[in-house]
Amino acid sequence: MAVRYVELKCTKFTKKRNRVFDSCVFLAPYAMMFLYWQKGEAQGKGNSVNTEVKNAVIVTDKEAQYDENAKRLLGNKHILAHILARTVDEFKGMNPEEVVSYIEGEPMIGIVPVEPGLTNVAREEQGQRVVGFNTENVETHEGLVRFDIVFYVRMKDGISQIIVNIEVQKDVPTKYKILNRAIFYVSRLVSSQKERDFTKTNYDDIKRVFSIWICMGMDENSLDYVHLADDKLLGDYVWEGKMDLLNIVLIGVSEEMPEQDECYELHRLLGALLSAKLPIEEKLDILETEYGIPMEDEEKEEVDVMSNLGEGIREKAEARGEAKGEAKVILSMYRKGYTLEQIADVAEKSVEEVRGIVEKREPALA
């Protein structure tokens, strides 16, 4: 008798930055400075609703442009080769320039839908029905969630293939857990192969899939490999099948550029490519001299655009941080027994505004 328990396993590779942060010391002076600053701003604003809406629209547009530029830059085969050489077992230790030739065709960037039933499309080619990735006009299914980047990679045996998906996030999502979304994506990469890469019940023809997630603005640089693992609970029976079909790689990239070190090679590359802080000249120098990545004029322009757009996004993030800091002060005062009227007087807000912040963040206390 044999019992087999298959689990999703995560292997972590991380090296933390040293950080010193004392929230108690930081909070009090920050709160007072912020409240005085807010008062001065309010006096100079007047009726600024239209300006605020306009700025929000501009920054939102910048974020959309940032996303598109990030995808196009990461979709460069030389960049993809560096990522594959450090995340896919078959290519580890290889010169990224040698890996480029294994990437088949052109990567599909922001065009293949994730939704079941829409990832694939059937076409007539030379009188035969052929099923492939759905790369039809984006406007046909406007508003759908799409894979950032997806492409096939030929293995070194010249026969087998893997399917690779790259996703980039400016920061950690707050509406959902990123690993849950990664599991959904890697599952879709498998299930969508039906009729495209294998037919009927030929499940042995399923290709390995990798879903690689790059998350910027993290507190530390990290690298996690999430995959299936077989834990023997009873007996030693060996079940046939491919345990390496599902592969998730989570890459956390710190805001601070890591030093030039072998364990940071991938993170330094991604930081140079997508950082909102690094000057354009330094970015190009790192990409070309340290990684030997040739940058055409058009790609250099995209890197420059990334720097400019990133600056606007960073400013917005700082503004959000200030708003969070103000809310933190208000909640702290509320928990210490100050009345809404007292808090409103110190924060120079209306009682209703203070009540709204308290009810939103601490509904049980309101």
Instruction: Tell me how far apart the alpha carbons of residues 188 and 10 are, in angstroms, rounded to a whole number.
Output: 20
The pair of three-digit structure tokens given for residue 218, joined into one six-digit string: 């993290």
Report the alpha-carbon distance of residue 292 to residue 131 in Å, rounded: 37
- In whole angstroms, what is the distance from residue 316 CA to residue 104 CA? 39
Global pTM exceeds 0.85: no
Question: What is the distance between the alpha carbons of residues 70 and 261, in angstroms, rounded to a whole number?
Answer: 24
CA-CA-CA-CA dihedral for 60, 63, 68, 72, to nearest 10: 160
Q: pLDDT tens digits for the chain (366 residues)?
A: 566 567 677 777 655 444 433 333 334 433 443 443 344 444 444 443 344 433 443 444 455 566 788 888 899 999 999 999 999 999 999 999 999 999 999 999 998 989 888 888 887 777 777 788 887 655 555 568 899 999 999 999 999 999 999 999 988 888 899 999 999 999 999 999 999 999 999 999 999 999 999 998 898 999 999 999 999 999 999 999 999 999 999 999 998 888 899 999 999 999 888 877 778 788 888 888 999 887 776 666 666 655 554 544 454 444 555 566 678 788 888 887 888 888 887 787 888 888 888 876 554 444
Euclidean distance between CA atoms 338 and 341, whole angstroms: 8
Measured in degrees and rounded to the nearest 5, phi and psi for residue 321 equal -65, -40
Residues with Cβ within 8 Å of 5's Cβ and at least 6 positions away in sequence, in order, are: 230, 231, 232, 233
